[in-house]
Structure 1
Amino acid sequence: MIPSIPQSRALRLVYSAYIALFFVYLALPLAVVAAFAFNDSQFPSLPWAGFTWDWFFGEQRPMIGVFHERPILRAIGTSAFVGLCVALLSVAVGTSNAFLFNRYRFRGRGLLYVLMLLPLVIPGIVLGISILVFSSTIANGLWDALRHDAEILRPGLVLVILGQFSFITTIATLVISARLQKFDRTLEEAALNLGADRLTAVRTITLPYLMPAVVGAMVVAFLMSFENFNTTLMLVGSDAPLTIAMFDRMKEGSTPLLNAVSLLLMVGSSLLALVMIAFQRKP
């Protein structure tokens, strides 16, 4: 609805109701998941059996809490490790890509930019299968030729990190590029005129300006890595990240323990989003 165009009262009411229903549609499933994390029952469903903290702090089965469930805690640690590695790699390469595509003109630049964007339109499961087949082919070739088993190319955390990095780095590039395009290059030229070399000018002038976008890209990359499932499912080994561990638990039957994990993830994601917003507001 365009505010400058006069609208009837009925139309405004309908539009407001639509907006309200839209947000209810988004929030209601999350609210239900959060509510059943406190249900004193072994099943996340009605009827409501009473309020309990056991699905967070319980120490005895069958109502053992998140903070005492070692497989879940180990999976959270694995996801955090993978997410941090992916975030650092994506931001480092994304910053380099941003400078490459914003500062330089060269033959094949357009084609290279399209190739960078391709992972975003390829389904995650197809991307995971492709990486798995490629790495397994190389590993098998090394074994046939040299009798060397390249475990790094077998399903495991390394492949999970590389698989997620292959498309998350594109997001980081776009986030950082958007801010770099607004940068006034005369500030760098002034630093050069005052005696600084190119690297010093970029390090002391440009990178501090890009820091809000860098932090935002790192938060986005971490969250995308933490919640990724399709690509991870194809590349995971014995150390399962949280999404795979929860999927395996779902196959055995859902319990409010998974609701408790989901609630903690919602709170953690919200806090990281607030950090990103705070840095994005910096001039």
Structure 2
Amino acid sequence: MIPTIPTPRALTVIWTSYVVLFFVYLTLPLAVVAVFAFNDSQFPSLPWQGFTLDWFFGSAAPKIGVFHEQAILGAIGTSAFVGVCVAALSVAVGTSNAFLFNRYKFRGRGLLYILMLLPLVVPGIVLGISILVFSSTMANQLWDVAKIDSAFLRPGLGLVILGQFSFITTIATLVISARLQKFDTSLEEAALNLGASRLTAVRTITIPFLMPAIVGAAVVAFLMSFENFNTTLMLVGSDAPLTIAMFDRLKEGSTPLLNAVSLLLMLGSFVLALILIAFQKRS
């Protein structure tokens, strides 16, 4: 709809209704999850038993809150550790990829770019199984040939980080590349004419220009890693990230504790989004 062109009232009503229903469809499940995090019941369902904060701060069974549930707190710490590692690796490699595909032309560049995008169209469960089979085969070969026990190739946090990195780095590359395409290369050329080395010019001029995209890519990579389930499920070991821990709890029976965890995750994502918006506006 173009605001400057008069439109029939019926079309305006239909368009407005569509937008409202769309956002209700997106937010209603999240609102339900948030509301039942405060339900004074052992089950996240109707009828409403009253308001309580026990699912956040409770310390006595059966209402042990999030902040007293050591298994959940440990899983959150594990997810945060994995997310930071994946974000750091994805941003570092994504920045290098952005320079590679934007600044250099070489034989096979198009094919390499397609291969980089391939993990985005492969289902996460298939990607996880493929990485697990490949790493396990490599580990078995190393043991059979050289008697080397390569634990990092077995299911565990190391493999989870590598598995998530394999597709999240593509997102980071696309985010940073979009910013790099807007960069005026004459600024680097001016710095080179003034005596700066190419590395100095990139470090002092190009990287600061890319910083909003780099921070944005890091936040997106962290959030994608934190909430990833399909790939992580295939690669996890004894230290389960939060998504796997919540899945295991859900198999035993859902409680408002999971609603409380979900609400905290929503609030954390919201805060990170606000920080990112504030940083980009300042930049």
TM-score, with length taken from structure 1: 0.99
Give the structure 2 partner of residue 194 of structure 1.
Answer: 194
Cα distance, 1:99 vs structure 2: 0.3
Question: Per-residue CA shift, 1:184-210, capped at 9, x if unaligned?
Answer: 011111111111010000000000000
**How far apart are the structure 1 equivalents of 2:137 and 2:176?**
35
Does residue 118 (structure 1) correspond to residue 118 (structure 2)? The answer is yes
Does residue 57 (structure 1) correspond to residue 57 (structure 2)? The answer is yes
Alignment of 1:116-265 (within 5 A): 116-265=116-265
Alignment of 1:62-81 (within 5 A): 62-81=62-81
Question: Per-residue CA shift, 1:72-115, capped at 9, x if unaligned?
Answer: 00000000000000000000000000000000000000000000
Question: Per-residue CA shift, 1:39-73, capped at 9, x if unaligned?
Answer: 00000000000000000000001000000000000
**How far apart are the structure 1 equivalents of 2:10 and 2:172?**
43
Give the structure 1 partner of residue 2 of structure 2.
Answer: 2
Q: Which runs of 5+ in 2 are unaligned?
A: none
Q: Which SS does the other structure have where 2:47 is aligned?
A: coil
Contact preservation (8 Å) 1:84, 1:222:
yes
Structure 1, 2-11 or 91-100: larger mean CA deviation: 2-11
Give the structure 2 partner of residue 96 of structure 1.
Answer: 96
Q: Which SS does the other structure have where 2:184 is aligned?
A: coil
Give the structure 1 partner of residue 278 of structure 2.
Answer: 278
Question: Per-residue CA shift, 1:114-143, capped at 9, x if unaligned?
Answer: 000000000000000000000000000011
Percent identical pairs in the alignment equals: 81
**How far apart are the structure 1 equivalents of 2:62 and 2:13?**
49
**How far apart are the structure 2 equivalents of 1:200 and 1:242?**
41
Question: Per-residue CA shift, 1:243-273, capped at 9, x if unaligned?
Answer: 0000000000000000000000000001111
Q: Which SS does the other structure have where 1:39 is aligned?
A: coil
Structure 1, 175-184 or 272-281: larger mean CA deviation: 272-281
Give the structure 2 partner of residue 31 of structure 1.
Answer: 31
Change (3 A) 1:282 1:106: farther
**How far apart are the structure 2 equivalents of 1:29 and 1:236?**
28
**How far apart are the structure 2 equivalents of 1:144 and 1:38?**
55
Q: Which SS does the other structure have where 1:281 is aligned?
A: helix
TM-score, with length taken from structure 2: 0.99
Indicate the RMSD between aligned Cα atoms, in angstroms.
Answer: 0.8
**How far apart are the structure 1 equivalents of 2:6 and 2:172?**
41
**How far apart are the structure 2 equivalents of 1:7 and 1:261?**
46
**How far apart are the structure 2 equivalents of 1:120 and 1:279?**
28
Change (3 A) 1:282 1:176: farther
Question: Per-residue CA shift, 1:155-177, capped at 9, x if unaligned?
Answer: 00000000000000000000000
Cα distance, 1:282 vs structure 2: 4.4
Aligned residues: 283
Contact preservation (8 Å) 1:212, 1:282:
no
Q: Which runs of 5+ in 1 are unaligned?
A: none
Give the structure 2 partner of residue 19 of structure 1.
Answer: 19
